[in-house]
């Protein structure tokens, strides 16, 4: 029996997720001016561009790996093959990266290593190894005993994404069937709707087969939310973030995308002062006579998107390297930490500039650049916590049981350092958004899309500071400050929610040790919170009111 609250969550959140994802791929050119019919058509238009095919096929791969992996019986998953698969992934990927670096000629130029002509077979071989490793990846999934419904739904989801990806790639009536980046019309909304409904069904089936776990998850989430809501910083941050998220998602309705292109048809003058007479003049105009309001709204998309994506890369790298360094210690740990130190001491900006210049100007480049340069902080923080966890006795027990290092890191260290990774991730978003603005300000941003950094760069380059055209500089500047502040607030709030020692409270409630463990359990989400946390906090809240 599915818990009632989880049921209502699914009913509420499924349409919300659908709407958000639809808004992401909503046609940029369709806005208020085109009328209700055109706007509704924007959601369901079969010819509207969808996500790039490589993205869809990647998603299909993940869903298929999870589904097939859960379906395959234990018999076909011997430990040796699992281990071999991990080695193939690691070796194949690293060989590809090294080969790529050599191919680009950097090492050739810097160190005089002239390996270039012999690289092709090596690249081919490592790509084959990596491909085979990826093919065997389902073997890493634990087999599911509680029925084949959930795995079946995952497989169905994967098939939907495969079909969508192939049609987005142009297989069904498109121009280039083999292009993985072409994003032509593909009845995207149909696939999207099916995929989201399948996702909701997975959660539903999971909840009804594991009612106890589902109940716990719901309960934990509510406890975290309760603690979070009591934190004013967190709430302020959340409101600011929600405001900008709405701005980004609803951009097609808030500002006509055509306003960013040509100036002629709208008849604006350069550097017009802000005025309340016209919507598009609320923030004035820029040096080309473009509406700064429109630029501002469309910039929110790129800035937030780049920030979140770069953070994802940075967190995965930082957490992985941090856990490995903390767990292994000794030689491997030292190597990991020296690499981290190297990235820390290399001046960030020049490195990022070199990389951005070498890889070309686009926001994908910016994401990669920020992702691969901002992980050392995370790695250091995670390592310090992994060092603490490593010394705990259950790690020794794990070793005494005969567990592999991989198992210990995956099942014992990661869950225990996860709250820290989570809180750190939110802080990294702020840094990533700031970094994006910096790079864009220095002229390394995406020339085809506006971001707040690009706006500032344009303002600076066109003498807005001298005029002074304050209406050109203030909106993007304040937006950056507000978003960075919002993420910092949210990060601090989560720090306090997840670490009871930082929580402000008059009476100390239960023992700090017990609180610490429950805090870990909140995040996983698996174990319920001890009563001391709740009663203590409720008491603190009341004291504050009186």
Partner 1 sequence: MSPEAASTAVAKPAAAQRIEHPGLLDVRELRAYFRLSEGDVKAVDGVSFMLEKGESLGLAGESGCGKTTAAMAILKLLPENGRIVSGEVLFDGKNLAKRTEFGMSKIRWKDISIIFQGAMNALNPVQQTGKQIAEPIILHEGKSEAEAMKRARELFDLVGINPKRVVEFPHELSGGMRQRAMIAMALACNPKLIIGDEPTTALDVMVQAQILELIGRLRKELDLSFILISHDLSVMAETCDKGVIMYAGQVVESGSTEQIFNNPQHPYTRRLISAFPNIHEKREMVNSIAGDPPNLLRPPEGCRFYPRCVEKTPDCDGAHGEPDSVEVDPGHFVRCVLVHKG
Name the site residues for partner 1 (rule: CB under 8 A). 74, 142-143, 145, 212, 329-330, 392-394, 396-403, 407, 411-412, 415-416, 514, 517-518, 520-521, 524, 526-528, 530
Q: Which residue number, 142 or 267, has a Cβ lying nearer to partner 1?
A: 142
What are the angstrom distances between the C-alpha of 225 and each of 68, 310, 428, 494?
Answer: 35, 26, 21, 10
Q: Which residue number, 175 or 212, has a Cβ lying nearer to partner 1?
A: 212
Dihedral sign for Cα atoms in the order 43, 49, 52, 53: positive
Question: From the CB of 64, what's the least distance to partner 1, in Å?
Answer: 22
Question: From the CB of 453, what's the least distance to partner 1, in Å?
Answer: 40
Question: From the CB of 399, what's the least distance to partner 1, in Å?
Answer: 7
Q: Which residue number, 458 or 518, has a Cβ lying nearer to partner 1?
A: 518
Question: From the CB of 392, what's the least distance to partner 1, in Å?
Answer: 6
Q: Which residues have C-beta within 8 Å of that of residue 209, sequence separation ≥ 6?
A: 146, 147, 149, 150
Q: Which residue number, 39 or 205, has a Cβ lying nearer to partner 1?
A: 205
Using CB atoms within 10 Å of the CB of residue 470, give its burial: 0 to 12 exposed, 13 to 18 middle, 19+ buried: middle
Q: Which of 383, 371, 406 shows the shortest CA–CA distance to 319?
A: 383
d(CA 167, CA 185): 8
Question: From the CB of 300, what's the least distance to partner 1, in Å?
Answer: 37
Report DSSP state, residue 414.
H
* DSSP count for the chain of H helices, then E strands: 23, 0
Q: Which residue number, 226 or 516, has a Cβ lying nearer to partner 1?
A: 516
Say how many CA atoms lie within 13 Å of 376 toward its Cβ: 14
d(CA 216, CA 218): 5
Q: Which residue number, 341 or 396, has a Cβ lying nearer to partner 1?
A: 396
Report DSSP state, residue 275.
-
Dihedral sign for Cα atoms in the order 347, 348, 353, 355: positive
Q: Which two tokens stand for residue 537?
A: 């906090």
d(CA 471, CA 91): 53
Q: Which residue number, 212 or 507, has a Cβ lying nearer to partner 1?
A: 212
Question: From the CB of 419, what's the least distance to partner 1, in Å?
Answer: 9
Q: Which residue number, 351 or 387, has a Cβ lying nearer to partner 1?
A: 387
Question: From the CB of 68, what's the least distance to partner 1, in Å?
Answer: 18
Spatial contact of 449 and 300, defined as CB atoms under 8 Å apart: no
Question: From the CB of 412, what's the least distance to partner 1, in Å?
Answer: 5
Say how many CA atoms lie within 13 Å of 63 toward its Cβ: 23
Q: Which residue number, 274 or 329, has a Cβ lying nearer to partner 1?
A: 329
Q: Specify the residue for token string 């007479």.
A: 277
First vs last C-alpha separation in the chain: 42
Q: Which residues have C-beta within 8 Å of that of residue 208, sequence separation ≥ 6?
A: 1, 2, 214
């Amino acid at each position: 029996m599915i818990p009632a609250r989880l049921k209502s969550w699914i009913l509420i959140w499924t349409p919300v997720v659908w709407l958000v994802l639809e808004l992401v791929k909503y046609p940029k050119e369709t806005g208020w001016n085109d009328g209700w019919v055109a706007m509704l058509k924007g959601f369901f238009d079969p010819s509207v561009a969808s996500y790039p095919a490589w993205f869809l096929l990647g998603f299909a791969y993940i869903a298929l790996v999870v589904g097939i992996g859960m379906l395959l019986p234990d018999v076909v998953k011997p430990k040796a093959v699992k281990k071999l698969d991990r080695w193939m992934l690691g070796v194949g990927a690293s060989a590809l990266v090294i080969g790529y670096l050599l191919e680009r000629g950097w090492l050739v130029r810097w160190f005089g290593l002239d390996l270039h002509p012999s690289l092709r077979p090596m690249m081919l071989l490592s790509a084959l190894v990596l491909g085979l490793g990826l093919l065997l990846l389902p073997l890493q999934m634990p087999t599911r005993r509680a029925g084949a419904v959930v795995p079946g739904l995952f497989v169905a989801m994967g098939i939907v994404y495969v079909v969508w990806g192939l049609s987005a790639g142009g297989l069904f009536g498109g121009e280039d069937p083999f292009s993985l980046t072409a994003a032509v019309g593909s009845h995207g909304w149909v696939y999207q709707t099916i995929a989201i409904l399948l996702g909701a069904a997975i959660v539903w089936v999971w909840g009804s087969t594991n009612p106890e776990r589902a109940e716990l998850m719901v309960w934990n989430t509510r406890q975290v939310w309760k603690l979070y809501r009591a934190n004013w910083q967190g709430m302020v941050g959340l409101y600011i973030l929600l405001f900008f998220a709405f701005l980004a998602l609803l951009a097609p309705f808030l500002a006509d995308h055509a306003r960013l292109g040509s100036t002629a048809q709208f008849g604006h003058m350069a550097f017009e002062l802000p005025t309340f007479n016209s919507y598009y003049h609320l923030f004035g105009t820029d040096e080309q006579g473009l509406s700064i309001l429109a630029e501002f709204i469309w910039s929110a998309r790129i800035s937030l998107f780049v920030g979140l994506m770069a953070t994802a890369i940075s967190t995965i790298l930082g957490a992985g390297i941090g856990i490995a360094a903390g767990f292994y210690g000794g030689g491997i740990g030292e190597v990991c930490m020296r690499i981290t130190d190297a990235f820390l001491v290399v001046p960030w900006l020049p490195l990022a500039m070199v990389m951005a210049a070498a890889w070309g100007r686009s926001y994908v480049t910016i994401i990669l650049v920020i992702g691969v340069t901002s992980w050392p902080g995370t790695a250091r923080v995670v390592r310090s916590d992994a060092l603490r966890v490593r010394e705990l006795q259950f790690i020794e027990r794990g070793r005494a049981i005969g567990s592999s290092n991989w198992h210990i890191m995956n099942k014992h260290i990661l869950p225990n350092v996860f709250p820290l990774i989570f809180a750190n991730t939110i802080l990294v978003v702020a840094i990533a958004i700031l970094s994006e603005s910096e790079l864009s300000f220095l002229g390394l941003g995406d020339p085809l899309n506006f971001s707040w950094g690009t706006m500032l760069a344009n303002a600076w380059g066109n003498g807005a500071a001298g005029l002074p055209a304050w209406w050109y500089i203030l909106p993007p500047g304040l937006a950056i400050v507000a978003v960075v502040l919002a993420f910092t607030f949210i990060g601090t709030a989560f720090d306090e929610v997840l670490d009871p020692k930082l929580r402000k409270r008059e009476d100390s409630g239960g023992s700090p040790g017990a609180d610490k463990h429950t805090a870990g359990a909140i995040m996983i989400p698996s174990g319920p919170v001890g009563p001391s946390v709740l009663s203590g906090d409720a008491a603190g809240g009341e004291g504050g009111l009186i």
